[in-house]
Structure 1
Amino acid sequence: MPWRLDFDGLTPATTPASTDPEHMVRQIYAHLGQGDRAQALATAALLASEYPTFQLGQLLYADLLNISIQKPVSWAEVNEAEQPSLMKRLNELVLESKRRLQRQSAQHLLGKVPAAFVFLSPQQPYAAVVDASQSRIYWFENRSDSTGRMQLQLIKETYISVGVNGTGKRQEGDGKTPLGVYFVQKGLPGDTLPDLFGVGALTLNYPNALDLMQKKTGSGIWLHGTPSAQYARAPESTDGCVVLSNPVMDALMSLPGLRMTPVVIANKIDWLPSGQTSPSLADFKPTLDQWLAARNGHDPEALKLHYSTRFERDNMDLEQWWPRLAQTTLGHIVSKPLELVSVLQWQDDMHTMVVTLKDPNQKGQSQQQYLRTYWQKENSQWKLVFQGPA
């Protein structure tokens, strides 16, 4: 072989500021940019030693060893039949490196919140967004108050992998990650799953109501860890799930109250200044309040005005659903009003608001305790296109 991995006698001249593997990758490139090849090699050696299953780290170390002996890797020793798959894997690692280096700094995100988060009540402890184009997930702790002013603390920001065929899932088996607003359903510990899923998984509610209206198919879209032989997957390599490293996945699964955590998956995340009420909430809230008031009235036509003719649930349209909706919704005197838990927005060819409400009059943790509604703008007016249990 032109070179071999040898850790003996290689220690960094200075201890890295962080032993986080991604930070160490950036350190290696920073040292190279400063012309300090020896320090880059020493840091790469430590990275490869500390994270033996981090294939990008192994590649960087191998490249630096190769440079240090001024002898290029010879492909002659690689079976010709294996070269295409090896080149494919090499290209994946190069793309992973680029995505990790393109990461926005924490300072750049300071004082910003995702525009998708329109309102999060104190009842919603966490919220997350996935930026597929940057291979990142941003996980926030919600410290907002009841006024709607966004006060979110970014507690985890890390590299992720998405579908082998990118994003925009439409049908089962297309190898794409869905785009939209989703919610965590439950956690699955790793010891109940095949090794492919790593330390565990958080299941998402794909297909959601909007996906079903658009006739999208497929299921089993999860956030999950990596196989034990890999620290990370390639940026686009999954069957459609969002994959995180096992240490990060383990940390997320240890958080309390993850059920119904919103996870917005987008190709690109738009950011707004924090500490203020979302402009979208100011536009939408009057309609929501009018609908809530109409629910407590006795005029079915006034209530029906809030529903779109495109309303659909369980393959039934508004006229088929209306008798049941009117019977279960209209004119009920309750001891406590519905509580607004969250409002998330999604923009594609339609502007959508995804609203979760809690019925404090329902006891326990049954699905019926929470109501989820989907609203879309039609001729400048917000209309309900779905209503059902969360």
Structure 2
Amino acid sequence: MSVELTARRRRAAAVALMIVSLLHAVIAHAQSDNKPRPKPARAGTSASAKPPASPPPLRDGDAEERLLAVYKLIGVGQNREALRQAEALARDYPNFQLAQLVVGDLLSARLRPIRRMGDAPEADTLRSMQAAATLDELRNESRQRVDAQRIRPPANTIPAQFLELSPRSRHAIAFDASRSRLYLFENAPTGLRLVADYYASVGRLGIDKSLEGDQRTPLGVYFITSRLDPTSLKDFYGAGALPINYPNPLDISRGKTGSGIWLHGTPPEQFARAPLATDGCLVLANPDLERLLRTVEPRTTPVVIARQLNWVAPHSVQTDRNAFDAVLGAWSKAKTDGDMKRLLSFYAPDFQSHRKKPLDDWANVLQAEARALRGRDLHLKDKSYLRWTDSADTMVVTFGEVAAGARTGPVKRQYWIRRDQNWQIFFEGVIG
């Protein structure tokens, strides 16, 4: 916590120094403009004066959309209109540092050529290494935003991890670290549909978290566990927070440590963080996070965090989905038949349960569950298959287990790993 706050103060101080240098351009611009300016009216002299209107609520994605529109105007040489729109953007989002930066550049461009973004006078800006580092961060943020819009996911494609998603999961989230981009999907009757995407920041030292305090963001398949009320949080977390279940069973099996990985917002004085800026959380601008807070559901919303997302046509995962569906069906049939030898063949020797039961102890649980079926068929409902492939090929499986004639049953989650072309369960637990 103290590390994050200290870094935030350093960044704010560096930006302040940088903007002071850019103000030289603003002052020079004002001094070179000899047009007469109207004098401000004295208080009480205008009977028609009205109180200023309340600003409209901030909409998710709006600031970035307007920033990119300014960039396009600059690209075609319409600097005057670009400056007008940039100034309006900076007024509506006064804590959006990229907007302030582009205003400064456009004003400077009236007096001298601009070589690159944040091209403040060298003698002023580079006297502070912190200011120089902050400029680099802002340039990287700008580049990530532009690249994510320039290289869009192909139409009607999905991340390859989503083999099947239950109707109980009304939404899904995928994050591409290479693009600093979070994608929000709606799980419609026709399949996953991309409804929004946002810039987001990760850990200072990047991704692939393995240890407590390593300032990295984890990679894998996770689930939102709760929705934290912003009134219960420090303003550092902005509009609120959505914790995820790091470390998950795969992480634990690999000896990974740490906790407290959230999707959260930014403090009031900061619109966005640098691409690499957190202690491991995913951080979004507050208007974007507010959209997630209003939309996603704890416990049923999966969050895939990938080094780089592989976008595929939905029908292309059908073969893998059907193949794994047959494996899960065979597991269910062995349990229905009470065939313990066959049933246990689906479990890995290093199996663990929620209660840390090894396979020998879990066999007693399975036998009791099979005995309770009394020969009734076992139906698996609302199935979700989320595939994660790195050094191993794993599947995160969620389903409702309902015996024939029963109206309800437990909701279970299993983690499978493929070894020697065979799928085996290395974790199983009841989640609802």
TM over 0.5: yes
2:174 maps to which residue?
Answer: 129
1:264 maps to which residue?
Answer: 304
CA deviation map 1:259-290 (0-9, x unaligned) = 32000000100111135653320221111100
Match of 1:84 among 123, 129, 139: 129
How many Å separate the matches in 2 of 1:107 and 1:69? 36
| Displacement of 1:219 | 0.4
2:19 maps to which residue?
Answer: none
1:73 maps to which residue?
Answer: 120
2:391 maps to which residue?
Answer: 349
How many Å separate the matches in 2 of 1:54 and 1:36? 22
Match of 2:91 among 35, 49, 61: 49
How many Å separate the matches in 2 of 1:208 and 1:351? 15
Residues 258, 106 of structure 1: alpha-carbon distance in 2 compared, 3 angstrom cutoff? farther
Stretches of structure 1 lacking an aligned partner (at least 5 in a row) = 10-17, 146-150
Report the structure number with the largest CA radius of gyration. Answer: 2
Residues 256, 181 of structure 1: alpha-carbon distance in 2 compared, 3 angstrom cutoff? closer
Residues 19, 225 of structure 1: alpha-carbon distance in 2 compared, 3 angstrom cutoff? closer
1:93 maps to which residue?
Answer: 138
2:286 corresponds to 1:246: yes
TM-score if structure 2 supplies the norm length?
0.79
CA deviation map 1:28-61 (0-9, x unaligned) = 2212221222222222212111111111111111
Residues 330, 157 of structure 1: alpha-carbon distance in 2 compared, 3 angstrom cutoff? farther
Stretches of structure 2 lacking an aligned partner (at least 5 in a row) = 1-22, 38-59, 114-118
CA deviation map 1:320-375 (0-9, x unaligned) = 433333334556246862313311000001111100112457999xxx83210011
1:223 maps to which residue?
Answer: 263
How many Å separate the matches in 1 of 2:274 and 2:296? 29
2:359 corresponds to 1:318: yes
| Displacement of 1:319 | 2.8
**Paired residues, what number?**
372
Residues 217, 256 of structure 1: alpha-carbon distance in 2 compared, 3 angstrom cutoff? closer
2:43 corresponds to 1:3: no
Contact 1:300 1:330 in 2 (8 A): no
Residues 217, 121 of structure 1: alpha-carbon distance in 2 compared, 3 angstrom cutoff? same
2:224 corresponds to 1:184: yes
Query: Greater helix percent: which structure?
Result: 2
1:305 maps to which residue?
Answer: 345
How many Å separate the matches in 1 of 2:177 and 2:422? 31
Residues 250, 190 of structure 1: alpha-carbon distance in 2 compared, 3 angstrom cutoff? same
How many Å separate the matches in 2 of 1:174 and 1:88? 21
**Which range moves more in the overlay, 228-237 or 323-332?**
323-332
2:104 maps to which residue?
Answer: 62
Contact 1:123 1:341 in 2 (8 A): no
1:14 maps to which residue?
Answer: none
2:57 maps to which residue?
Answer: none
AA matched with 1:62: G
How many Å separate the matches in 2 of 1:106 and 1:274? 20
| Displacement of 1:256 | 6.0
How many Å separate the matches in 1 of 2:150 and 2:313? 16
AA matched with 1:59: L
Residues 325, 252 of structure 1: alpha-carbon distance in 2 compared, 3 angstrom cutoff? same
* 1:113-152 correspondence to structure 2 within 5 Å: 113-144=158-189, 151-152=191-192
| Displacement of 1:310 | 2.5
1:373 maps to which residue?
Answer: 414
- Determine helix, strand or coil for the equivalent of 1:278: helix
How many Å separate the matches in 2 of 1:266 and 1:79? 36
Contact 1:124 1:341 in 2 (8 A): no
1:13 maps to which residue?
Answer: none
How many Å separate the matches in 1 of 2:327 and 2:402? 22
How many Å separate the matches in 2 of 1:275 and 1:143? 16
AA matched with 1:20: D
- Determine helix, strand or coil for the equivalent of 1:181: strand
How many Å separate the matches in 1 of 2:407 and 2:106? 62
Residues 24, 54 of structure 1: alpha-carbon distance in 2 compared, 3 angstrom cutoff? same
- Determine helix, strand or coil for the equivalent of 1:68: coil
CA deviation map 1:230-254 (0-9, x unaligned) = 1111111011011111111112111
AA matched with 2:363: W
Contact 1:363 1:369 in 2 (8 A): no
TM-score if structure 1 supplies the norm length?
0.87
How many Å separate the matches in 1 of 2:89 and 2:276? 23
2:381 corresponds to 1:339: yes
**Which range moves more in the overlay, 107-116 or 318-327?**
318-327
How many Å separate the matches in 2 of 1:363 and 1:161? 44
2:54 maps to which residue?
Answer: none
Residues 330, 353 of structure 1: alpha-carbon distance in 2 compared, 3 angstrom cutoff? farther
Residues 222, 256 of structure 1: alpha-carbon distance in 2 compared, 3 angstrom cutoff? closer
Residues 356, 40 of structure 1: alpha-carbon distance in 2 compared, 3 angstrom cutoff? same
Q: Percent identity?
A: 37
Flag as ranges the 4+ runs of structure 1 deviating above 6 A.
Answer: 5-9, 361-364
**Which range moves more in the overlay, 158-167 or 104-113?**
104-113
Residues 284, 104 of structure 1: alpha-carbon distance in 2 compared, 3 angstrom cutoff? farther
2:81 corresponds to 1:39: yes
AA matched with 2:352: E
How many Å separate the matches in 1 of 2:272 and 2:407? 42
2:67 corresponds to 1:25: yes
Residues 41, 227 of structure 1: alpha-carbon distance in 2 compared, 3 angstrom cutoff? same
